[in-house]
Structure 1
Amino acid sequence: MKQKIRLSLATVEDIEFIVNVKINASLWPYEDDIPTDKDAVRKNVGKRIDSNWYKQYIIQLDNLERTPIGVLHIHWYVKERGSWEIGYCIFPEYRGQGYCVEATKLVLKYAFEDWNAHKVVAMCNEHNIASYKVMEKLGMTREGIFREELPWQGKWVNQLFYCILDSDYRKISSSI
């Protein structure tokens, strides 16, 4: 199957784009704690751009224009345990087309084949069905439910915790 997207490792030239994504509440409908201080977000993104523990990607269509359609990051979760955490956002007009699965699949490949990860985790609001469907399509296992972990829309909601181990990835990597 032909690849539909590309991942571009973010550089200092991408900071404003990433900042604008992170502060745009309409892109994060399942989160209530969207930052509003653009300068603080810019400073934080700038610190992470050149780090070895946090990798920020721009998800782009694989076309001549390299149309940006979202962002994805992966960072150490528990370094001494070889654990990484992923997070992603696809712009609304590109959702439901398999782009997030494809992008996350590429990052899992990097994590397990290049960075020697033991485990990759991801979490989402229990109401974010699209997000947990992505994780399940990638072979991630729901390992837990953090009860009433997230404040959302004036109430406490559960957070779902997913994981894939290096041994799981090796078994299914050719099929995802």
Structure 2
Amino acid sequence: MLDFNFSPFPTIETERLLLRRITNDDANEIFELRSNPETMKYIPRPLVKNTEDALAHIAMIEEKIETNVGINWAITLKESPKLLGIIGFYRMQPENYRAEIGYMLLPDFHGKGIIPEAVNRLNRYGFDDLKLHSIEAVIDPENFASEKVLQKCGFIKEAHFKESEFYEGRFLDKVIYSLLDK
């Protein structure tokens, strides 16, 4: 079974991006991401209502890192420390050598190839450094942009679960994509 250890925190680079630890200094951008109904449209979680909620979200991310059960990075451009989005591994299953990848990006940066670049680099980190065997992504079937990213990054659709989650008075479908270590 795998034993995850995120200390020291791994800062990761790509050609254009720096994936760094999220800090309380990112609270305004976390608020901007998680309070926006458009960016949260396909994420069945409550909207962040204020800076305190954003700081609580950052504290939750930090707690998962400290206990080695999940890890998130701030997505930034190398030339600017401003958080543009978040990417990370959730629902880590060390016994199955598997983790779920998730990501979100501020709308101003959509369509610039940022998420595929970050996903491809995080996949390498997951397979090479964490020794994962598979990485999965769980998305809303209506989230065509995310589906396109996953397909571009080599993920294969494994399942479509009908009405498998109940959120805010309605049943939601979910689609699972996965990528195996080659």
| Fold shared by both chains (TM-score > 0.5) | yes
In the TM superposition, residue 14 of structure 1 has moved relative to its aligned partner by 5.0
* C-alpha contact 1:15 1:46 (8 A) present in aligned 2: no
Aligned to 1:60: 76
Gap regions ≥5 residues in structure 2:
1-13
For 2:136 and 2:32, the matched residues in 1 are separated by: 22
Q: Count the aligned residue pairs.
A: 164
| TM-score (norm: length of structure 2) | 0.77
Q: How does 1:23-172 map to 2 (within 5 A)?
A: 23-26=34-37, 27-36=39-48, 38=53, 41-63=57-79, 65-151=80-166, 155-167=170-182
Q: Which amino acid aligns with 2:171?
A: W
- Equivalent residue of 2:176, what SS? strand
Equivalent residues of 1:32, 1:152 under 8 A apart = yes
Is the alpha carbon distance of 1:42 and 1:13 closer, same or farther for their aligned partners in structure 2, counting shifts above 3 Å? closer
Per-residue deviation at 1:152? 6.9
Structure with bigger helix share is 1
5+ long unaligned stretches in structure 1: 168-176
Aligned residue number for residue 17 of structure 2: 5
RMSD between superposed Cα atoms in Å: 2.6
Aligned residue identity for 1:161: I
AA in 2 matched with 1:28: M
In 2, Cα distance between the equivalents of 1:138 and 1:113?
Answer: 16
- The answer to whether the 8 Å contact 2:26/2:83 transfers is no
- Residue 20 of structure 1 and its aligned partner are, at CA, apart by 2.3
Q: CA deviation at 1:90?
A: 0.9
Question: C-alpha distance in 2, partners of 1:6/1:43?
Answer: 21
The structural deviation recorded for 1:29 is: 1.4
Contact 2:33 2:106 in 1 (8 A): no
Q: Could you state the TM-score of these two structures normalised by the residue count of structure 1?
A: 0.79
Percentage of matched positions with identical amino acids? 23
